[in-house]
Amino acid sequence: MIQNCHVPCRIRIGSCGIIDVLAYDTRQDITALQQEDLLKFGRLVFALCCNNLAAMNNAPKALETLGRQYSSDMKNVALFLISPGPHKVRGSQITLILVSFIAFLCELEHWSAIRFDRQSASHRNG
């Protein structure tokens, strides 16, 4: 049972939509915001793939690292995300992103299960 029902001025806002709620009156171009999100997502992809938060400070080296360690599809997705363009959201590119990240998540889950099994075995063995 919720005990704080007597506080009428309290509003709880989740972090995903906080800007939309706080800046409700200001109209912003949705396309520009989506492009900015895709660019930041691309920078995140490079940071995760290169294991370096500042990977995009040296883009050629980050691209080389990504190309060496990941598939060409992953490299194409990352390049697509960081490339400037007015309308980047297309069906084929989104499909490519989803397929690549589903494969990546499957690999991550597999690696995590192996690591958990190893840690559990070492913990049992003392």
pLDDT digits (tens, 9 = 90+) for 45-94: 888 888 888 888 888 898 888 888 888 878 887 888 888 776 665 555 66
In angstroms, the Cα distances linking 62 to 65, 94, 97, 125 are 5, 22, 19, 41
Domain extent at residue 47: 18-125
Domain count, the chain: 1
Give yes or no for residue 22 having a pLDDT over 80. no
d(CA 123, CA 112): 16
Of 14-18, 85-89, 115-119, the poorest mean pLDDT is in 85-89
Residue 68 lies in a domain: yes
Contacts 24+ apart (CB under 8 A), 117-123: none
- Enter the tokens of residue 50: 């290169």
Crossing angle between the packed helical segments 59-69 and 72-82, to the nearest 10 degrees: 150
DSSP code at position 109: H
Average pLDDT over residues 19-46: 78
**What pTM was computed for the model?**
0.56
Question: CATH number for the domain including 114?
Answer: 1.10.510.10
